[in-house]
Structure 1
Amino acid sequence: MHVVLVVDHAFINGGQAKVALDAGLGLRARGHRVTVFAAVGPADPRLAEAGIRVVCLGQDDIASTKNRFAFAVQAIWNTHAARRLAQELAGLDPADTVVHVHAFAKALSPAIGVSLRASGLPLLYTVHEFFLVCPNGGFYDYPAKAICHRTPMSAACIATNCDARSYPRKLLRVVRHAALDHVAGMRRLFPHIVTISALQEKVIAPHLPATTVFHRVDNPIAVAPVPPRDGPPGDFLFVGRISDEKGAPVFAEAARRAGVRPVFVGDGPAAAELAARYPEAVILGWKDEAAVHALMRQARALVFPSVWYEGQPLTVYEALACGAPVIVSDACAGREAVEDGETGFWFRSGDADALAAHLVRLKDDALAARMSRAAHARYWAAPLTRDNHLDRITAVYDLVLRAAGAAARGRTPHRPAVAALP
């Protein structure tokens, strides 16, 4: 088949792009035709080397732009991207082409929705975040430091400054979302949606058409298999952006109450304040993947205290693969990977005392060792490998193509249950 991957960035700058581009490389290696359509470069050289057609517009994102007014216009309605995408999709065969959208909110804009609809090609969208249904993309009120339960684009939503930076930027996003919904019609554009956690589907389903078909496809995890650890457990570890929504201050406070040393791998807007308030905390900064996995293999547990929904936090799965139990907030999708009391613990989101109680429990070396063995065994019984990811996504592509073909012929195809996908 021919898979057209639509992404904001043609290089790996985070989890979204990594999943999309790595899948593209894997699909090409399996013999499929792959096109990557992106706004922001430079393109990952591996794509062209693998024989993937790359269409990169050479545009800016918010981090690279030198003209914020021009970028604001682009973010609301990227006319150039819409025109080029329409040209790229023109003439493609709907019998063997799937257009898979991974990202649009950072550069491509909702304008691509008009081109996608006009193409008449089978469409698929992966929900890495919530920009398809929420103006700020996260169902999170940054100033209030709490999950947002307001109806997107309601009067209460529009009147609330939930943005991480300013209310004017929130209003810009409201305008963009109005274009997304009322001009591009993107919420009603994708009959098939890929989610990466059950929580994600629960959050977005009420805001999409009742006929939407959801497919669960886990993201791949790149962790080399190693034997279960047999050494003494080390420190409690946090890996990620040191920010309020990630729950970093909650971990630091809980560690103090539990009398343990918190170790942070990462950086972020709360790092300086956290270091000043909790001088006992060890802040290592960002580390490469190999170094992070080495720290996970030594950790007593990974602490994942995120106070917002998340999508499918890969850090949780990486830790389990490395044999580290995980203590996870019950508000985020990371809890789906953790069997409470067996491979880690859930705790009440934002509650430092509840987290501290689990830190105290895992001071017990015997319990930490038992949970480490269980975490390692459970993960490797069904690992989230790239091959498993490719098997699942190609099964979804086949289903999308069959459904589109049947719709074109005016009948409904027999569709196996999503749970039956390999």
Structure 2
Amino acid sequence: MHVVLVADHAYVNGGQAKVALDSALGLAARGVRVTLFAACGPADPRLAAAGIRVVCLNQDDVSTTRNKLAFLVQAIWNGEAARRLAAELALCDPRDTVVHVHAFAKALSPSIGVALRRSGLALVYTLHEFFLVCPNGGFYEYPAAAICRRTPMSRACLTTDCDAKSYPRKLARVVRHVGMTRIARLPTIFRHVVTISDLQERVVAPLLPRGTTFHRVDNPISVARAPVREEAPGDFLFVGRISTEKGAPVFAEAARRAGIRAVFVGDGEQRAELAARYPEAAMLGWRDAAGVQALMRQARALVFPSVWYEGQPLTVYEALACGTPVVVSDACAGREAVIDGETGFLFRSGDPDALAAHLRRLTDDALAARMGRAAHARYWAAPLSLDAHLDRLGGVYAAVLRAGASGRPAARPAGRGPSLADRGRVKHSEPASR
């Protein structure tokens, strides 16, 4: 089998790229021929060392460009990416090649759809976010700090300023979305879509063509197994971007109301404001992976108060693997990992009083320790390891190749086994518009 992975970045700059590169390295270690096609470099040196062919265009993304106008053109329609990808795919044998797209919205642009469609190769897309159906990629209205429940590209959508930066940028993304749907036709060429949470499938299924086959593949979690801590639980911990959509202000206010100290690991646009408004909170800044996990193992609980959908928040699973209970918002996909009252608590999204009530409960050392042991046991009964991820991917690739590039319906791969999402299912109905 030959797997061509397509991503915006050839190095790890976040969770999306980390999953793509980890799977590339894991597949290569299993003897699969792997090619990585990416817009932005430099390429991670581990790829070449593993024998992976890397085609990197060494282009900019929005964070590195010095010419905003040129990048706007690239983001809407990256002609070079389309040409180079077409040339690369022309070298592939359709009998054994699967093209797996992880990302396009940060640099590659929808233009890659033309090359993908003309290649005649078997295709699969991982839904790390929602750009395939939503112009701003998140079903989130940033100015209103609320989940957006409008139908994408409807009149209500087009007239709503939902972008994190400005309405003109929203309009640019609308133009890109039109190119994606009308010219590249990305939503129609991916007949096989990988989701990383049940919530994702419920949200996007009504918006993708009938006959789309969904495959659930959990992201791999990189946590070494270790015994549960014996010492008394420590602080309540937040890990991630300190921003409104991540619920950072909700946690800070809930901690104050509960009379406990909030500890933030990370950075973001609201760090300074929250530090000034809540001087009792501890702002630790970013830590490396080992440092974050060490803090998790010492924590009383991880608080994940995100007020938007998310995809599959890795920090929630990392905390459970470390033997730390999780208090999570009921609006995001992280709720699928937690068994309410056993391995953590769910609380009403955006409600600091509801969160504060759970924080007060967890000041009980015995309860926090008991939940931590339950979280550890349940996670390690079916860990989200790289091997489990690769096994599942292999099943998806085989199903996609059997269906063929013609798009014949494929049987769903065998069930994913007793994952945390299955064992801790939380029933939730999305709005009818979804």
Normalised by the length of structure 1, the TM-score is 0.97
Aligned to 2:288: 288
The code of the aligned residue for 1:32 comes to V
User: Per the alignment, in what secondary structure is the counterpart of residue 415 of structure 2?
Assistant: helix
Aligned mates of 2:15, 2:378 — CA distance in 1: 24
Separation of aligned partners in 2, 1:190 and 1:364: 49
Contact 1:216 1:418 in 2 (8 A): no
Equivalent position of 2:141 in the other structure: 141
CA drift at 1:95: 1.2
The alignment covers a number of residue pairs equal to 418
Distance 1:161 1:247 in 2: 20
Structure 1 residue 210 displacement after superposition: 1.5
Q: Which amino acid aligns with 1:286?
A: W
Q: 1:419 aligns with which of 412, 415, 431?
A: 415
CA distance in 2, matches of 1:105, 1:184: 13
Check the 8 A contact 2:40/2:58 in 1, yes or no: yes
Change in CA separation of 1:393 and 1:412 when aligned onto 2, cut-off 3 Å: closer
Secondary structure of the residue that 1:419 maps to in structure 2?
coil
Partner of 1:227: 227
Deviation readout 1:237-262 (Å, 9 max, x if unpaired): 00000000000000010001100000
Partner of 1:279: 279
Gaps of 5+ in 1: none
The answer to whether the 8 Å contact 1:94/1:120 transfers is: yes
1:51 alignment counterpart: 51
**In 2, are the aligned partners of 1:264 and 1:282 still within 8 Å (CA)?**
yes
Q: Which residue of 2 aligns with 1:10?
A: 10
User: For 1:258 and 1:39, how far apart are their aligned partners in 2?
Assistant: 47
2:97, 2:341 → 1: CA distance?
A: 45
Q: How does 1:322-401 map to 2 (within 5 A)?
A: 322-401=322-401
Partner of 1:22: 22
| CA distance in structure 2 between the partners assigned to 1:220 and 1:48 by the alignment | 22
Structure 2 vs 1, CA of residues 7 and 420 (structure 1 numbering), >3 Å: closer, same or farther?
closer
Q: 1:379 to 1:252 in 2, by over 3 A?
A: same
Q: Secondary structure at the match of 1:215?
A: strand
Aligned counterpart, 1:111 = 111
**Percent identity between the two aligned chains:** 74
Counterparts of 2:414 and 2:249, CA distance in 1: 39
Aligned pairs for 1:98-177 (under 5 A) are 98-177=98-177
State whether residues 215 and 413 of structure 2, in contact with CA within 8 Å, keep that contact through their aligned partners in structure 1: no
How has the CA–CA distance of structure 1 residues 197 and 280 changed in structure 2, closer, same or farther, with 3 Å as cutoff? Answer: same
Q: Which residue of 2 aligns with 1:252?
A: 252
Unaligned runs of 5+ in 2: 419-434
RMSD: 1.2
The DSSP-based 3-state class of the residue aligned with 2:193 is strand
**Alpha carbons of 1:416 and 1:114: their partners in 2 closer, same or farther (altered >3 Å)?**
closer
Please state how far the C-alpha of 1:91 moved relative to its aligned partner. 3.8
Aligned to 2:427: none
Give the equivalent residue in structure 1 for 2:35.
35
Equivalence for 1:205: 205
Alignment partner, residue 238 of structure 2: 238
C-alpha change, 1:144 and 1:416, in structure 2 (3 Å) is closer
CA distance in structure 1 between the aligned counterparts of 2:21 and 2:233, rounded to whole angstroms: 36
Instruction: State the match for 1:84 in structure 2.
Output: 84
Using a 3 Å threshold, how does the CA distance of structure 1 residues 127 and 366 change in structure 2: closer, same or farther?
A: same
Normalising by structure 2, report the TM-score. Answer: 0.95
